[in-house]
A and B are shown apart, each in its own frame.
Chain A
């Protein structure tokens, strides 16, 4: 069965056409995504919902080029992804996407500011410019005073805000958030959601995976995944 495209506007940021993904283990072959057709508009806040194990995160990983689809095609900002060569996808990820993970994935050995600089390390940006932009990003998430702390000296909410600063420091076109509030209490979760909405209002496309119906509804669109397929 082939799902119909959910959105079909001209200003499409991400387009998935007939994307399928299969995981092969020793004995079992699991079809994680089945013929997905999805258009993400520029500037929208798309929430992906669904039960555990339905393929939400796999879909997000495929959108963010962290994972390669088994079949189908992906277009990013009008340009089809034709090569999954390490060097090519690394460049595309660096320039187009910012990632926010449920468990933050900050590097505990580095200061907060060094963590935030990370995406700029892989661009031709001077050290002074990196530092300036990292400081700005941290101030934007309200952590300007925590630059020289280590991640494990911060609360969970603060760590996720550092992760958001890291994701946005490179001014990516798309923020991909995989259950960004999943490890936070409701107050911290609300703060993180406010931040994501603010970034979206400033023009960044946001794709968020969540279990939380209320959070999902704060975005502009919701798509639901069930058993690897998009459902209406």
Chain B
């Protein structure tokens, strides 16, 4: 029976080439966009690459403080003192790393000025994140303790600053400080890793950062296992509750949240800086609704096209009914035909999505993007495709299968 359905589907689709082309274009484009978006979302949130251990660490990005009367408030990245005094002594964490956000710094090289993104990091940063070292090494505890002026570049920056030369051992002037390059790492776009250049935190021109509760640092909190993450969040809540501000008359209550990557994005998006709920559930819901809407519109269009297509086959419906096909059997047949078309469209969509991702990687539109369609995204695409096939096939198939056989045989659907 299935073979019969396959042959009929193939014949119908090759006979109606324009219809098939429109249908396939619609499916392919929709799935391509969904797959590219899914791949980018997965790249951002799923533990992968440099942040392969992100299922074991949380990030604390913001310290919010409110005054006694609730009229004054402040939110900013953490000061180094906050990390040193409150986060590092936490018992539930295995390791804490302080690192600044990427800041623009001018690099003077051969009478040229390049603007680079610079991070200052502790040695633990390199232990929590899993950078792929292409050449040399990354800063260790001693480099940081001694305040050595050593730097790590990513591959693109190394190639840009030292074209045709080996970057290792070279010196460069960044923001008025001279650093020796001790390592080159692979380019990366990840949330906590994105930068062109990294130097030890102790090379900061001023030591003031050590005494500030507010600053431009954030902390990575590594747990012994993913199961320990809730313990870290609970302990952080206790730590934050007993936090003492330098100016207690002005600030008397602080808020810090140890978030996974999705929570971090959601909290930033919804501004939930003073409540434990990051809004990740809402964010996922919004993404799901948008995706379904994005799929529904072309699906409705396909419902229309499919109804027209099946309408033309009313005589066939009549014959099949006359020889014993029930409405249910016909629904299954038409849905199988539609799902097959959608799966073919899905395959084209996958190929097109791969093409777009390769183009995105090489276009520089999103710097250092390294993203691929992996198994999870492929499975997601497959699921999306089948849902799409069902969405756009069931309604017309059901409608047409209800045709009265006599009317169907007359072609008067």
Contact = CB atoms under 8 A, between A and B. Distances in A.
Interface string A104-115: 011101110010
B312 to A, nearest CB: 11
B324 A114 contact: no
A127 B7 CA distance: 14
A121 B4 contact: yes
B172 to A, nearest CB: 70
Nearest to A163: B319
Nearest to A67: B406
Interface stretch (A74-82, A94-102, A137-145): A94-102
Given A66-B406, A93-B323, A121 B1 contact: yes
A121 B320 CA distance: 10
Interface residues of A, number: 31
Contacts of B4: 110, 114, 117-118, 121
A105 B324 contact: no
Most chain A CB within a 10 A radius of its CB, from B7, B15, B329, B406: B406
A119 interface: yes
- For the complex, would chain B's binding face be called helix, strand, loop or mixed by DSSP majority? helix
B326 interface: yes
A166 interface: yes
Contacts of B318: 105
B316 A107 contact: yes
B327 interface: yes
Given A93-B323, A123-B324, A105 B3 contact: no
A128 to B, nearest CB: 12
Contacts of B406: 61, 66-67
A86 interface: yes
A64 B315 CA distance: 17
A110 B326 contact: no
A122 B324 contact: yes
Nearest to A178: B409
A98 B328 CA distance: 21
Nearest to B321: A90
A109 B3 contact: no
Interface string B3-15: 1100110011001
Given A107-B8, A109-B7, A117-B4, A91 B324 contact: yes
A107 B9 CA distance: 12
A87 interface: yes
A66 B328 contact: no
Contacts of B329: 90, 122
Contact of B327 (A86, A93, A101, A106): A86
B322 interface: yes
Most chain A CB within a 10 A radius of its CB, from B4, B321, B323: B323
Interface of B: 1, 3-4, 7-8, 11-12, 15, 315-316, 318-329, 404-406, 409
Interface of A: 61, 64, 66-67, 86-87, 90-91, 93-95, 97-99, 101, 105-107, 109-111, 114, 117-119, 121-123, 127, 166, 170
Given A66-B409, A90-B329, 20 more contacts: A64-B322, A66-B322, A66-B406, A86-B326, A87-B326, A91-B324, A93-B323, A93-B324, A94-B324, A109-B11, A109-B12, A109-B15, A110-B4, A111-B7, A114-B7, A117-B4, A118-B319, A118-B323, A119-B323, A122-B323
